[in-house]
Amino acid sequence: MRNLRLITLLLLVIFLIMPVSQAQSQNTIEETLSAALKFFGSAMGAGLYHSADVHGPLRFCIGANAALLTVPDEFQFLPILDDDKINLGYLHANLGLGANLEVTGRMLFFALSGDPGDIGDIPTSGTFDGNGQLYSVGVKYGLIQKPLVPKLALQASGHFVTLPSEFDFGTVRGVSVKLIASHSFGIFGVYVGGGIDYSRVEIDDNFLPDLAGESFDESGFLYNIGVQANVLPFMTVNAGLNFGEYNSYDLGVDIGIH
């Protein structure tokens, strides 16, 4: 699916277009770059959690999530963004470690194709094909995990982007720190949460001479509210709304044992 690669290509095309566009002022470049990094952080922070409940020792869940993001108006001029929505699909897993701790992981693979030397060919066809990856790894700690009362947890996650060398413009990283609360009512549950998403990009020395070695970072707050339902003994479905400077929706299915 072409939409799966747009988040990373968004940053790539901005770095390709902005420095060579004579019509762009320095302020415009910085504003667009700031918005792109915030949008990247918002995308990575969407759908990170669906409950404050921490899995017991060696208990786990695996699942799939889809996030729907609205493309900001400031990115409409980019050739790769011919839609006003972006769809992202993730696979994720959580594993309990005991002592109210669990580790979390999430990944997304996306296709890249085109001629990196020709901006117009990047989103469609060209001379190179490869795969990029988005990874999120983190730790979740249960602050309150008592029965019959709402649960409270703190989750910290790191996000990493890897690209084929032909498209590699630098290092893209992110960090999300979230406080989560949830409560179950029989087979149904509700969850709320929020926190900060931080994004940083460092430009490769060999990519753009004017920006070689420079780094840019941005942060923003993203909040979440959602519901979940146990449709089968070991299966849970969930749906959430992520709102902040950039809004998104997410849906998911989990299979596991608490």
Domain ranges of the chain: 2-257
**Distance between CA 74 and CA 95 in Å, rounded?**
39
Specify the DSSP element, H or E, that contains 6: helix 6-17
Residue found by looking up tokens 């990575």 in the block = 44
Q: How confident is the model at residue 53, as a pLDDT?
A: 94
Q: How confident is the model at residue 35, as a pLDDT?
A: 73
**Distance between CA 114 and CA 136 in Å, rounded?**
26
Instruction: Note the pTM of the prediction, 2 decimals.
Output: 0.80
Q: How confident is the model at residue 172, as a pLDDT?
A: 82
Point out the residues of the chain with pLDDT beneath 70. 1-33, 72-84, 110-130, 165-169, 206-213
The CATH fold assigned to 2-257 is Porin (2.40.160)
Q: List pLDDT tens digits, range 186-231.
A: 899 999 999 999 988 887 776 656 666 677 888 889 999 999 999 8
What is the 3 state secondary structure string of 78-138? CCCCCCCEEEEEEEEEEEEEECCEEEEEEEEEEEEEECCCCHHHCCCCCCEEEEEEEEEEE
Q: How confident is the model at residue 81, as a pLDDT?
A: 47
Q: List pLDDT tens digits, range 96-109.
A: 999 999 999 999 87
| DSSP bridge pairs for 219 | 198
